[in-house]
A and B are shown apart, each in its own frame.
Chain A
Amino acid sequence: MSAAAVVERRDRASTRLLARVDTPLPRRARSELLAEIDASGLTGRGGAGFPTARKLAAVAKARRPLVVANGTEGEPASWKDKVLLSENPHLVVDGAVVAARIVGAREIVFAVGRANRTVRTRLAHALNARSDGFEVGIQTVPERFVAGEESALLHHLEGGPAKPTIGRPYERGVLVQNVETLANLGLVARYGSDWFRERGTAEEPGTVLVTVLGAVRRPGVAEVELGTPIRDVLQRFGGLSALPHALLIGGYFGTWVRAHDVLDLPLANAALKPLGASLGARTIVVLPHDACGLRESARVARYLADESAGQCGPCVFGIPAMADALERLDVERLRRLAPQVTGRGACAHPTGATRFVASAVDVFADEIRRHRQGRCCGANHDPVLPLGASRDWR
C-alpha cells in the first residue's frame, strides 16, 4: 500500500490540511503568532496531545533552539503523516517555518521514516522549490515503533540509536513537533484562531487526519472535524464492509472498545474517556466479527515486545511476559503483570503496551471463555492489524 493509494478522493472545499495553500505566510511578530496559537487551543497531533503553544513558549527561551518536524510515524497502523507529507508538503514546511520564527531557530530538520521513498522525494522537492531563509535538512530514521518518540528521535539525530533517553527535548531547546501539528500552525498563522475554532468542539477544536483500517470499504486517511460521530467518520471510508466486532482506537498504545459502545460517540477524547480510551494519533482499526481479537492482540503484543528498545528492565522482561500470557490466555498472570510494567519505562512503551493488552482482555472476555473450551472464532481470518518489520536502530 503506497501513501498515495490510501488517500480518499477529496472534495477540496472540505479539507484544510490536505488542500494546497497558495497564499504567502504573513509576516507577524513572534509574540503575536504565539498568542494566536495559544488562542487556537491547538494540541499536538502526534498522539500525546500536548498544548502546542506551551511547548513553543518553552523552546523560545532556549539560547540556540532547533526545530524538528516529526514525520516518522513508526506506528504501522497509521498513515496520516505519510499522506500529509506526500500530498501537502508545503503546508508542513510552512508550519515548520512559523515554529522556527516563534522559537527563534535558524535550523529545521525534517525527520521521516527510512522506508517510504515517496514521502522523502516529495518533501525534498518542496524544500528545493522554496527559500525561507532557514537551514533545512531531511533526516531518515529507522522504521521502529518507538523511533518517533521525541527523545528517541533526537538521540538518533545526534548520531545515536533511535532509542529513548531521559528528559524532554523541549527542555533542551529542541522543538520536536509532529508534522500534522505543524500543518495546523501554517493554517493558524494565516487564518487565525477564530477560523481554526470554527471546526471541532470548544474543548477539542480543529480538524484531524484519521487513519482507518480493517472492516471498512475504503481503508485509508481522511480529514474530519473533531466531534464527528464515529459512525460518520467510518462513512468517509466507504462505511463498514462487515459486521464490526470491536474497534481499536489510538493504535497499538490504544484501547479496544466494543463496536456498539463506540459507534455513536463523537470522535473526541472527552467522549472516549469514560471507556478508558483516547484518540492518540487517531488510528482506528475496525475488527470484523469473523476475525479473532485475541489472535490479533497476541500478534501485536509480541510485536510490541520485539519493538522494545531493550533499555528498561520492566519493558525488556515485562512486555514479552505479557505477550506469553496473552497467548496462553492466562488472565490472572496478566493482572499480576500490569502494575509491574505500566509507567516503568523511560518512555511510554511499557505503559502503552499494558493498556493495549488490558483492553483486549476486557473487550474479548467472551472469546477467552470460548477459546478455553477449544473454539476459536476466527482462526482462518487473514491478519487485520499490520505490523512493522525493521530490525535497525541506527
Chain B
Amino acid sequence: MTMKIRVNPILCDGYGQCAELLPEVIELDEWGYPIVPRGPIAAGLEPAAQRAVKMCPRLALSLERAA
C-alpha cells in the first residue's frame, strides 16, 4: 500500500520541522511553508514520514493512502 503526505494549510504555521525530518520529500517555500508532493512517497521513507507527522507542532500533517 502506497502512502502520500497531506498538509492541512490552515493548521500549518510553517515551523518547518517536517522538511528537516523528511528533506527527501518536503521542501519549504520562501515563507517557510512545506511543499508536499501530490504523488505517493517511496516505501522506504514511510517511517521517516510517520515521524514527521507525529512531530509536527501543529499536527498539520497526515499520511493517507495514495489513490
Task: Check if B31 sits within 8 Å of A314, measured CB to CB.
Answer: yes
Task: Tell me which of B4-12, B18-26, B45-53 binds A.
Answer: B4-12
A345 in contact (CB, < 8 A): yes
Mark out the residues of chain A between 200 and 237 whose CB falls within 8 Å of any chain B CB in the assembled complex: none
Task: Check if B9 sits within 8 Å of A314, measured CB to CB.
Answer: yes
CB-defined contacts of B40 to chain A, threshold 8 Å = none
Return B11 CB to nearest CB of chain A, in Å: 8
Nearest chain A residue, comparing its CB with the CB of B14 = A313
Nearest chain B residue, comparing its CB with the CB of A311 = B10
6 nearest CB pairs, A to B = A312-B9, A313-B33, A317-B31, A340-B29, A311-B10, A346-B10
Tally of A-B Cβ pairs under 8 angstroms:
37
Q: How far is the CA of A164 from the CA of B13 in the complex (A)?
A: 17
Q: How far is the CA of A262 from the CA of B8 in the complex (A)?
A: 38
CB-defined contacts of B10 to chain A, threshold 8 Å = 164-166, 311-312, 346
B66 in contact (CB, < 8 A): no
Task: Check if A314 sits within 8 Å of B8, measured CB to CB.
Answer: no
Name the one of A165, A311, A340, A346 contacting B35, with C-beta atoms under 8 angstroms. Answer: A340
Contact (A344, B35) CB under 8 Å given A313-B13, A313-B14, A314-B29: yes
A288 in contact (CB, < 8 A): no
**Is the contact region of chain B dominated by helix, strand, or loop, or is it mixed?**
loop
Task: Check if B35 sits within 8 Å of A345, measured CB to CB.
Answer: no
Name the one of B9, B13, B14, B30 contacting A340, with C-beta atoms under 8 angstroms. Answer: B30
Nearest chain A residue, comparing its CB with the CB of B11 = A166
CB-defined contacts of B30 to chain A, threshold 8 Å = 340
Q: How far is the CA of A318 from the CA of B35 in the complex (A)?
A: 13
CB-defined contacts of B35 to chain A, threshold 8 Å = 340, 344
CB-defined contacts of B14 to chain A, threshold 8 Å = 313
Mark out the residues of chain B between 34 and 67 whose CB falls within 8 Å of any chain A CB in the assembled complex: 35
Q: How far is the CA of A314 from the CA of B35 in the complex (A)?
A: 10
Task: Check if A166 sits within 8 Å of B8, measured CB to CB.
Answer: yes
CB-defined contacts of A317 to chain B, threshold 8 Å = 31
Return B49 CB to nearest CB of chain A, in Å: 19
Task: Check if B31 sits within 8 Å of A311, measured CB to CB.
Answer: no
Q: How far is the CA of A164 from the CA of B29 in the complex (A)?
A: 22
Q: How far is the CA of A32 from the CA of B45 in the complex (A)?
A: 50
Q: How far is the CA of A318 from the CA of B30 in the complex (A)?
A: 9
Return B12 CB to nearest CB of chain A, in Å: 6
Return A322 CB to nearest CB of chain B, in Å: 12
Name the one of B8, B12, B31, B32 contacting A318, with C-beta atoms under 8 angstroms. Answer: B31
Task: Check if B31 sits within 8 Å of A313, measured CB to CB.
Answer: yes
CB-defined contacts of A164 to chain B, threshold 8 Å = 10
CB-defined contacts of A166 to chain B, threshold 8 Å = 8, 10
